[in-house]
Amino acid sequence: MINTALIAGARPNFIKIAALEKAFVASGHFKNLLIHTGQHYDARMSDIFFRQLGMPVPDMFLGVGSGSHAEQTAKVMTEIEKVFIDQKPDVVLVVGDVNSTVAAALTARKLHIPLVHVEAGLRSFDRSMPEEINRIVTDSISDYLYVSEPSGVKHLLAEGHSASSILLAGNVMIDSLRRFEKTAADTREHESRGLEDNKYFLITAHRPALVDDPENLSLFAESLLRLAELGPVVFPIHPRTAARLGDTATGRSLKKHPSVQLTEPIGYLEFLCLMMHAALIVTDSGGIQEETTALKKPCITIRPNTERPITIEQGTNELLPLDVEQILAAGKSALSGAWKKGSIPDLWDGKASDRIAAHLYEALS
Which positions are annotated as active-site residues?
206
Q: Which helix (H) or strand (E) holds 115?
A: strand 115-118
Asked whether 166 and 121 are in contact (CB, 8 A), the reply is yes
Backbone angles phi, psi at 169, to 5 degrees: -100, -20
> Which residues, including other chains, have CB under 8 Å from residue 62's CB and lie 6 or more apart?
35, 36, 37, 38, 75, 76, 79, 80, 83
d(CA 76, CA 9): 9
What is the Cβ-side half-sphere exposure of residue 102, based on CA atoms within 13 angstroms? 19
Q: Which contacts of 213-221 are long-range, i.e. CB under 8 A and separated by 24 or more positions?
A: 214/244, 214/247, 214/248, 216/322, 217/241, 217/244, 217/245, 217/248, 217/251, 218/248, 218/249, 218/250, 218/251, 219/250, 219/322, 219/324, 220/302, 220/322, 221/245, 221/248, 221/250, 221/251, 221/253, 221/254
* Residue 125 DSSP symbol: -
d(CA 243, CA 203): 17
- How many CB atoms sit inside 10 A of residue 227's CB? 27
